[in-house]
Amino acid sequence: MRRNRLKPLFILLIISLFIVEAKAQEPLKITLDQALEIALSESSTIKIANMTVEKSGYAKKGSYASLYPNISVSGSYQRTLLKQVMVMDMGGQAMEIKVGRDNNISASASASMPLVNASLWESLKLSALDVELAVEQARSSKVSMISQVKQAFYGVLLAKESLNVMNQVYENACENYEKTLQRFNVGKASEVEKLRAQVNMMSAEPNVSSAENLVFLATWQLKAVMGLDLNTEIETVGDLNDYTNELLTPYVSEEDISNNSSLLQLDIQSRMLESNLRMQKKQYIPTLAASINYNYSAMGDDKLSWFPSSNAALSLSIPVFDGFQKHYNIKQTKIGMDMLDVQRIDTERQIRIAIRNYNDQIALCVKNYTAANATVEIAEKSYQISQKMYEVGKATQVELNDAQVALEQAQLTKAQAIYNFMVAKASLDELIGKE
């Protein structure tokens, strides 16, 4: 009796374990916003960009150390093992005298700092621009990451939509084969029609497998971009039809490039060259530095005698001639500034061309979607009519297959139009620097 009572409890425990394991293996369902949030926190690209900003910040703080006094303390102990001997002539007699003490101890402290150094002050501004450039590069990485995640997410949705179409085609092919087989059994369809329907059904099955593989690969790509472990099971939420409202919203062409990261980085680099030029010119200005030194030393054999000493100094350095090195450095910097101006003009030109291209692509995608959406409605009606006509023997298997292929192509064209629109828009957002 006791065993019979324990048996239901044991079965309930096993079922509970299976339920827990099944829940543990459930894929992580993520929306586009969640995918972006995960990528911005887990992606190695973003982590490296943030580390670069932090590194530049420390470099900036380290550059200010030149303005503070440089203080150092030193000490030494010297033990004389063998004293130096000096020979002196004393009244015609050579006399040997040992020089030095057995113990020599010294300790010193010194401090120095620049009082007037124009080029040093300008270099501090250059360090601040380094931080600003690192911040902009980090923002560029973030904008690029957002675009990559969006495109990868849309790629998964497109692959899933293709899989849905292929599954629908396969189900239709199976249904048509069953109907053809029924007609063949009652003598209303030829063996050729039966074989053709069977071939269509068998040909549709590999397409389903290929579409499933595309979904798998697209999901892997999304996980890689997000910075997730590839063994993590995820499932995207939504489909491409969720973005039709955005596609059909009247589109306003984007022309503002003030937030383009490439141009902003070039502007910062231009300011860095200007600061570098000012720093090089200020190297002609004399520099003034102050220093102070305190020494405490002792010498002796058995008994030590301590003697302090101290001094303070002002050091003035006036550049006179360096073989025209500063002159040529200034020339190089000016040429670099001219090159950067030419590069910025060319970059801006290429950006405006790319924006025009993306705007044209977006407008074309809207037209393609409108045409494809109408085509899908017509193709669905055509397929339904062909199916009914085939059932009553007024249409051939070839006509039914043609209607099915037309419906398949129209559905894929519609999905591709939405995907192309969203990818082009994501690329355009990245180009204009929209986060």
What are the pLDDT digits (tens) for 177-220?
Answer: 888 888 888 887 788 888 888 888 898 889 999 999 999 999 99
What is the number of other CB atoms lying within 10 angstroms of the CB of residue 385? 13
- Convert the pLDDT of each residue in 302-314 to its tens digit: 788 888 999 999 9
Fold of 27-72+115-286+322-432: Outer membrane efflux proteins (OEP) (1.20.1600)
Nearest C-alpha neighbor of 299 from the set 290, 312, 309, 289: 309
The pLDDT of residue 25:
57
Please, which residues have CB within 8 angstroms of residue 397's CB and are 6 or more apart in sequence? 176, 180, 193, 196, 197, 390
CA dihedral (5, 7, 10, 15) in degrees, to 10, reads: -120
Provide the whole-model pTM.
Answer: 0.79
- Successive 10-residue mean pLDDT values, the chain, 435 residues: 47 44 66 91 86 87 85 91 78 75 89 89 88 92 94 95 90 86 82 85 90 94 90 90 87 83 96 94 93 90 85 92 91 95 96 94 93 91 85 76 86 94 94 88
Question: Beta strand pairing status for 234-236 and 287-300?
Answer: unpaired
